[in-house]
Amino acid sequence: MSQEKNEKTFEQSLEELEKIATNLERGDLTLEQAISEFEQGMNLSKECSKKLDEAEKKINILVQKENGEFEEETFETPVD
Write the pLDDT tens digit of every residue in 3-21: 455 788 999 999 999 999 9
Give the C-alpha distances (Å, rounded to integers) separating 74 from 1, 16, 25, 80. Answer: 20, 32, 40, 19
What is the predicted pLDDT for the residue at 1? 46
- 23 CB burial (10 A radius; 0-12, 13-18, 19+): middle
Q: What is the pTM of this model?
A: 0.65
Query: What pLDDT is attached to residue 29?
Result: 95
Q: Do the Cβ atoms of 73 and 63 come closer than 8 Å?
A: yes
The answer to whether residue 76 scores a pLDDT higher than 70 is: no
